[in-house]
Amino acid sequence: MMARFSILHKLILTSSCILLVAGCCRWGGGGNWGVHKRSFAIPEVYPLGSVNRAHYHTMESNAEAVDFIINRNEFVENSAELTTNGKDHILEIGARMRSAPYPVIVERSDNNYAPELDAYRRQLVARILTDLGNQDADQRTIVSTPYGRSLNSREAEIDYYRFISTRGSLGGGFGGGGGGGGGFGGGGGNVGF
């Protein structure tokens, strides 16, 4: 009985030593004692297109949020009356507001020179959106600057002509060569063969 008990002890001791050594190697083998292997929860190489897809989703979400901005030019000058385009825009916002989580932004006046007018415009927009069936319109309508800064007429004109001269018909197309010598297969120049 004593010999049998010692064989059982030897078997338990041997198996525990094997498990201990295997635990230190973390089943990785190769002598990586105590080296932590990477988690399989986060892949080292993402699937093709997944990073771009996330970036495009962010851009689409930002573009949809911009649709919920009511700009100053959608009001008649220095009043809370909506223009024809402003009325159409607020109807579009009212139709989409139930299925979108974005706030409705009423663009504030330049340098906040008329805060009472801005507050009145906000109340008017919230009331119209509530009448269109959006019960949370009063909480979601705010006065703020838009996400992107708008341009005045002088800045817009400068950007327009800058765009025409660099990317439009005066810029030479794909290659920017001006006279048609550059771009895709545009001949001209030494090929070097």
Note the pLDDT of residue 13: 75
Mean pLDDT (whole number) for 166-177: 53
Say what the pLDDT of residue 149 is. Answer: 73
pLDDT at 80: 93
Banded model confidence at residue 7, pLDDT cuts 50, 70, 90:
confident
pLDDT cut 90: percent of the chain above it: 43
**DSSP structure string for the chain:** -HHHHHHHHHHHHHHHHHHHHHHHHTT--TT-TTPPPPPTTS-SSPPTTHHHHHHHHHHHHHHHHHTTEE-GGGB-TTSS-B-HHHHHHHHHHHHHGGG--PPEEEEPPGGG--HHHHHHHHHHHHHHHHHTT-TTHHHHEEEE--SS----HHHHHHHHHHHHHHHSGGGTTTTT-SSSSSSTT---S----
Mean pLDDT calculated for residue range 10-37: 63
Query: Which is higher by pLDDT, 191 or 96?
Result: 96
Percent of the chain with pLDDT over 70: 70
pLDDT at 5 over 80: no
Confidence of residue 174 (pLDDT cuts 50, 70, 90): low
